[in-house]
């Protein structure tokens, strides 16, 4: 049975304090406790909203798991805890996910005050298709995880959205250009909602030279659909395999994998080719 308490995730401005909603201000004012990623940043925001003298609890990536245990106890006792990350929506490449998971696992109420999101804001002004998208957040800096992320983005059939720091943006876009091809359309969005907000659009090869201050959003267009192989395409590939001495079945299996067609279709073409050669 749910108590009267709740965890409330509060979206906060990603740059312009004018984006702080009236409902967010009311939530902060009425909450029993305010938890936040960085007390200094949230204090400035609250002061701007005319909320003074409240006690703030710092909950960040390093202590979120431990704080979640205490959160469950407080919400279960009937307290309403408002949580804000440094900017944007908590839980989206920011702390908050573990807090929600802990409350959900204990069947405690979780609510949200929607608002600014760098990923969505960048998407809708990027000029790239927004009907389908994949949010990758910050991809790994090196190793297999980075290679896997780049390969995933390169083959994605939806617009991909990444976050990146200014000192790594050139290297990341260069890696994206290698993985996706230098001509893949993309965009870099920086200084969102601020006076120097800017969107730079173009092929990835040209975006490598973009200079940035503060975290940026990188967007990459979906991969172009692969053309559907014709019978002539399949036959040509099968003839190469058969010429190399493969059986009809082995040649069909190889072509099915290479051209992404069904094994049955490839085998039917292979047996037809062999039959025509026997006549």
pTM (2 decimals)?
A: 0.80
Complete DSSP assignment for 145-196: HHHHHHHHHHH-SSEEEEEE-TTTHHHHHHHHHHHH-TT-EEEEEESTTSTT
The confidence band for 3, taking pLDDT boundaries of 50, 70 and 90, is: low
CA 130-165-179 angle, to 5 degrees, is 60
Counting residues of the chain whose pLDDT is more than 70, the rounded percentage is: 98
Counting every residue written for the chain, the total comes to: 279
Average pLDDT over the chain reads 93
13 with 37: CB under 8 angstroms?
Answer: no
pLDDT score for 158:
97
Its sign, for the CA torsion 233, 238, 239, 243, is positive
Going by C-alpha positions, the residue among 172, 164, 166, 175 that lies closest to residue 211 is 166
- Helix (H) / strand (E) element for 122: namely helix 118-126
Distance CA 65, CA 76 (A): 17
**Better pLDDT: 215 or 1:** 215
- Burial class of residue 53, CB neighbours in 10 A (0-12, 13-18, 19+): exposed
Burial class (CB in 10 A: 0-12, 13-18, 19+), 109: middle
Q: φ, ψ for residue 25 (rounded to 5)?
A: -60, -45
The pairing of strands 6-10 and 80-84 is parallel
Read off the pLDDT of residues 105-147 as tens digits, 9 standing for 90 and up. Answer: 999 999 999 999 999 999 999 999 999 999 999 999 999 999 9
**Which range among 27-31, 72-76, 194-198, 244-248 shows the weakest confidence by mean pLDDT?**
244-248
- Over residues 28-55, the pLDDT tens digits come to 999 999 999 999 999 999 999 999 989 9
Q: At what angle do helices 231-243 and 248-259 cross, to 10 degrees?
A: 130
Is pLDDT above 50 for 1? no
pLDDT one-digit tens code per residue, 181-206:
999 999 999 999 999 899 999 999 99
CB atoms within 10 A of CB 39: 17
């Amino acid at each position: 049975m749910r108590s009267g308490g709740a965890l409330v995730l509060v979206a906060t401005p990603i740059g312009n304090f004018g984006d702080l909603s009236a409902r967010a201000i009311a939530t902060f004012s009425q909450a029993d406790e305010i938890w936040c990623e960085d007390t200094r940043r949230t204090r400035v925001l609250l002061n701007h909203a005319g909320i003074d003298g409240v006690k703030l609890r710092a909950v960040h990536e390093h202590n979120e798991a431990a704080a979640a245990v205490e959160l469950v106890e407080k919400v279960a006792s009937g307290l309403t805890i408002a949580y804000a990350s440094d900017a944007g929506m908590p839980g989206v490449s920011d702390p908050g996910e573990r807090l929600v998971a802990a409350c959900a696992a204990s069947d405690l109420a979780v609510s949200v005050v929607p608002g600014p999101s760098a990923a969505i804001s960048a998407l809708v002004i990027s000029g790239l298709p927004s009907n389908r998208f994949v949010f990758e957040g910050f991809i790994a800096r090196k190793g297999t995880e980075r290679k896997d992320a780049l390969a995933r983005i390169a083959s994605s059939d939806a617009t991909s959205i990444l976050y990146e720091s200014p000192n790594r943006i050139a290297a990341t876009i260069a890696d994206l250009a290698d993985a996706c091809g230098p001509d893949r359309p993309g965009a870099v969005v920086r200084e969102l909602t601020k006076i120097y907000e800017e969107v730079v659009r173009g092929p990835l090869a040209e975006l490598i030279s973009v200079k940035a201050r503060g975290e940026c959003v990188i967007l990459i267009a979906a991969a172009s659909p692969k053309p559907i192989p014709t019978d002539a395409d399949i036959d040509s590939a099968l003839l190469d395999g058969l010429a190399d001495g493969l059986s009809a079945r082995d040649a069909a299996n190889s072509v099915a994998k290479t051209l992404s067609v069904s094994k049955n279709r490839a085998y039917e073409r292979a047996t037809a080719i062999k039959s025509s050669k026997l006549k």
